[in-house]
Structure 1
C-alpha cells in the first residue's frame, strides 16, 4: 500500500476527478483520507495517514476516520487500546456507551486471535464509568464493534454482553496488506471501512433510542430477546420493554408496555398450542393471548422457536397457596370445556394453574397442548414427576384427568 504527502495527494485526486468523474468509495475526514476511485473497471484506494510507526497517532487517525470528532463522542486510550464512547443525554439521563474498540498492534503479524480481542474488550470495560455501565446494561446488551489492526491484517468483530462479554467475527477473513495489492483488495477494504462507518452511526442512534426509552431499571442475566413489539389479532402493534426473567424459568420474561400501563409475560418455547389457549381465554379460564408465532417479525416462516406473549397476572397465585378454597369444580369445568373441543392440555401441574384474587382459574403453559391423538409428551420429561405416560407418548383426556386429581394431593406441591 503506497502513501504520499497529503497536499500532493489532494492535487492529484482533484485533477483525476475532473478528468474521470469516478465513483467515490469510502469517507473523508480532517485527519485522514480514504478515497476509492472507480475508473475503467478498476478500483484505486489511497490512504493518507500519519506515520504508521507512531501507534498512538495512527490509532487516533483511524478512529477519526470512522467517527469524526463531535461533542457527543470522546475517546479513551488505555494500554494502547482506544475505546470510543457516545454521550446520551436528556433531562433525566446522562450516560456514555461504548460503540467502538480499536487495538493497533503494528509490530505483530496476524491480528492476535481470541486472546487479543478479549484483552481489547476488557480494556474498554475497565475504562467505562461504573454507574454508566450499570444503567446501559439495564437497557440493552451493549453491542460494540472491535477492530483489530496489525502490520499485515485487519479484522472486525462484534461484541455484546450477556452474563459476560461474548464476541464473534464479522469479517469472513482478515484483510491482509502487502506491498502489492490487487484492485479487488482495495475495493474490499474501501467498502469495509465505508460499511463500518455507516454501522457506527446506526449503532449510536440505536443506543440513544434504547437507553432513553428505558425509564426504569431492568435486569438481565443474559442477552435479552431482540423482539420488542408484536402484532396482535386485530393488527395493532403492541410494543413492550423487558424487565426481568420470571424465575425459575429460563425463557420466560416479564415485560411492560412503554407507558407501563400493561404487563406481559413473554415466553419462548419450541412449540405452543395457540388454539387451546385462545379457547380457554375466551371462556375466562386463561390469560389473554396477545401473540403466538415467530420471534422474528421479519421472518414469519421461522418455526424452530415460538414466541408467546400473554397478559401477565400481577395477582396470580399458585393454586396450592389457596387450595382450601372451592376451586376443584372450577378447574374440572375448565378442563372439561377444553376436552369438549377435542383438545388436551398435557401439563396440568400446580405451577401451571393460577388463581386471581377473585377466584378465577387461569391455566397457563400450553406448550404440550393440542388435538387429542396428535399432541404428544416431549421426549425429555422430568424424571421426578410421576407422569401418566412415557416420553413421546400421545396425550389423552385420561392423562389430563389423572394429573388433575394429583394437583390437590399434598405431595403434588413438592413436584
Structure 2
C-alpha cells in the first residue's frame, strides 16, 4: 500500500511543481534539472544527463538511468515543441553503436516530456533501432473536477518503476553472466526449442521432446474455423492450437506433412494424362472442401494457389490432397482481401485489396489454363 501512496505523491508533485508548471521555467536546463531530481527520487535510481561520443560527434541526453554499461531508461524533454522521438532514436542508435550491440537487444525505457505531457515507450536494437509506445501522451494539467488523467499517470508510473527496477537488475546482476546470445530470427515462443525456419516466412518446423515434428506459424490473422473444419474432413493438416501472443500476433501449431509435396513441384514435372489426372483430383478435393459450411455459410480460402496444395501418392496410385495457408480463409462474400497483396501473381480478375472473398476465386486457377501450372 505504501508503494501506491508513494506513486500518488510523486504524481501530485509532477503536476504541481514540474510538468503542470512547465511554463514557469526560464529554460529547458531548469526544466530538465527539476524533472530529473523528482524522477530520480521516485525511481530510486539517479537520473542524469549522459554524453555520447561517436567518432567526431557528441550528443548530450536529457535524462538517463545508467545500469553498468547500458541504459535502463532514456528521457528527452522539451518545454514546448516536439521532436523528442527523433532525438531519442538518434541518441539510442549512437549508444548501441558498439560491437556488443550486433548480438544483443539492449532494451531501454524511453520517456518523452513535452511541456505538460509525458509518454512512456521502449527502445530495443534489432538490425536497427525499434521503438514501441507503451502509453499515449498523458496530460499533466490538474483539473479539479476530473482526475482521470492523474489516475492514468499513477498507473503508468507504478508500472514504469516496477519495469525499470527489473531491467536495472537484469543489466547489473544477470546480464554479465549470460553466455548465450538469443538468435534474433527466432520468435520468442520458440527460443530454446529445436526449430528450423522454412524460407523467409515466419514458419518453423519444431521438434518436440518426444521427437514429433510440428509446424509453428506466426501471423496477424488466421482462418481457424475454416482450417479446423477442413482438417476434420481430411482436407487440411491437423490443427493443434491457434492462440494470440504478445505483440498482436497469432501462434498457429499444426501437423507437419513430412512426406508431402506442394502440387506446384509435381505439376511442373507432369504432362498429358498424368497432369490432367492430378488437376482433376485437386479440383474434386477443393470443391468438396469448399462445400463444408461454417455456421451455415459458405467459405472461401482466399489464397488457393498451387504452392498451398499439398500432394502425396496413396497406396492405390492415386493422390491424397490437403490444403494449407488459411490466413485469409473466411465466410464467402463477407470477408475481404488484405490491403497488401502480391499483384504479380495470376489472381482472378476480381481479386484485389479490400475486395470480397468468393469461392469462384479459389477454383479459378485450376479452370484457367493460363495460370494452371
**Under a length normalisation based on structure 1, what TM-score does the superposition of the two structures give?**
0.53
Select the residue among 312, 316, 322 that pairs with 2:266.
322
Tell me if the contact between 2:301 and 2:328 (Cα under 8 Å) persists in the aligned partners: yes
Structure 2 residue 241 is matched with structure 1 residue 291 = yes
Q: 1:404 aligns to what?
A: 366
Q: How much does 1:253 deviate?
A: 4.8
Q: How far is the alpha carbon of 1:100 from its aligned partner?
A: 0.6
2:111 counterpart (139, 144, 147): 147
**Corresponding position of 1:10:** none
Query: In structure 2, what is the equivalent of residue 350 of structure 1?
Result: 306
Structure 2 residue 72 is matched with structure 1 residue 99: yes
Change (3 A) 1:218 1:118: same
Deviation at 1:66, TM superposition (A): 1.9
- Specify the alignment match of 1:19 in structure 2: none
Distance, in Å, in 1 between the alignment partners of 2:281 and 2:346 is 24
1:86-128 deviation per Cα after TM superposition (whole angstroms, max 9, x unaligned): 57xxxxxxxx76431034x6xx733x51x23321332233122
Deviation string 1:180-208 (CA, Å, 9 cap, x unpaired) is xxxx8999988765543123235568998
1:268 paired to 2:268: no
Q: Is the 8 A contact 2:226 2:326 kept in 1?
A: yes
For 1:44 and 1:119, the matched residues in 2 are separated by 25
Does structure 2 conserve the Cα–Cα contact (< 8 Å) formed by 1:277 and 1:286? yes
Q: What is the CA distance between 1:281 and its match in structure 2? A: 2.5
Work out whether 1:109 is the aligned partner of 2:65.
Answer: no
Displacement of 1:264 after TM fit? 0.7
Gaps of at least 5 residues in structure 2 are: 19-28, 53-58
Taking the TM superposition and a 5 Å limit, the aligned residue runs for 1:192-207 are: 193-202=157-166
Q: Which runs of 5+ in 1 are unaligned?
A: 1-21, 28-33, 88-95, 178-183, 230-238
Q: CA deviation at 1:158?
A: 0.8
Aligned to 1:217: 183
Structure with greater helix percent: 2
Which residue in 2 is equivalent to 1:334? 285
1:298-351 per-position Cα deviation (integer Å, ceiling 9, x unaligned): xxxx9xx97654345577644222223654454245324425535554543113
- Which of 250, 261, 281 is matched with 2:231 structurally? 281
Q: TM-score, normalised by structure 2?
A: 0.57
Specify the alignment match of 1:166 in structure 2. 131
The answer to whether the 8 A contact 2:111-2:119 is kept is yes
Q: Indicate yes or no: 2:346 matched with 1:385.
A: yes
Contact 1:218–1:244 under 8 Å retained in 2? no
Cα separation, partners in 2 of 1:145 and 1:62, compared to 1, 3 Å: same
By how many angstroms is 1:242 displaced? 10
Measured at CA, do residues 290 and 402 of structure 1 come closer, stay the same or move farther in structure 2, by a change above 3 Å? Answer: same
Equivalent pairs counted in the alignment come to 322
1:387 deviates by: 1.7
Partner in structure 2 of residue 366 of structure 1: 326
| Alpha-carbon distance between aligned partners in 2 of 1:355 and 1:218, rounded to the nearest angstrom | 33
Give the conservation status (yes or no) of the 8 Å contact 2:107–2:123: yes
In the alignment, the residues of structure 1 paired with residue 242 and residue 279 of structure 2 have an alpha-carbon distance, to the nearest angstrom, of 29
Distance in 2 (alpha carbons) for counterparts of 1:158 and 1:385:
42
Deviation of the 1:168 alpha carbon: 4.1
- SS of residue in 1 equivalent to 2:79: coil
